[in-house]
Amino acid sequence: MKRSPYRSLLPAVLVLLLVWLLLNDSVSTGHVLLGLLLAFAVAAMLPSARPLQARMRRPLLAIRLLLRVLADVLRSNIAVVGIVLGPEHRRERPGFIHIPLDLRDPHGLAVLSMIVTATPGTVWAETSPDHRELTLHILELKDEAAWQRTIKERYERPLMEIFE
């Protein structure tokens, strides 16, 4: 039995339809039909907008990385509360650091940027135009080398194993 090409679009169509109905605050027949029409049109265009598909090579490592990131976010939230509410004389200076990257996969780079910006204490992230360097703004910059080691060992290396 041959699989319909529209079957893979079904989750996107359902999400788009749900968003359409929520935005219009109506489930009338007209809104449902117009929403379905728009959802199918947009979902049909999605694959051409993203020609490079992600391929995860080690999904179990991805789950471990997710758990590590969640723990780091929790730990970092607690540290940021201590920085913000603590005495001002104990605060370190904020600053920018530059981290050379070995990761080349665009999906891995996007995930790395999301990880470091989701972690409190890192305020901002940018990759260089050639994607060979990550620039981070750190709320409390004590040891630049420690930050570089942390990003490369805890996040970049597993992402390279997952995506490359």
Which residue, among 58, 159, 82, 64, has the nearest Cα to 116 in the 3D structure? Answer: 159
pLDDT tens figures, 62-117:
999 999 999 999 988 888 788 778 777 666 678 899 999 999 998 899 899 889 88
Which CATH number describes the domain made up of 59-163? 3.30.70
Q: List, as own/partner pairs, every contact residues 100-106 make where C-beta atoms lie below 8 angstroms and the sequence separation is at least 24, other chains included.
A: 100/132, 100/133, 101/127, 101/131, 101/132, 101/133, 101/134, 101/156, 102/152, 102/156, 102/160, 103/156, 103/159, 103/160, 103/163, 103/164, 104/131, 104/164, 105/159, 105/160, 105/163, 105/164, 106/52, 106/131
- Structure tokens given for 133: 């360097």
pLDDT over 70, % of the chain: 91
Task: Report domain extents, the chain.
Answer: 7-49, 59-163
More confident position, 55 or 162: 162
Question: Binning pLDDT at 50, 70 and 90, where does residue 3 land?
Answer: low
Question: Binning pLDDT at 50, 70 and 90, where does residue 140 land?
Answer: confident
Question: What is the pLDDT, as a whole number, of residue 90?
Answer: 62
pLDDT tens figures, 16-39:
999 999 999 999 999 999 999 999
**What mean pLDDT do residues 151-159 have?**
94
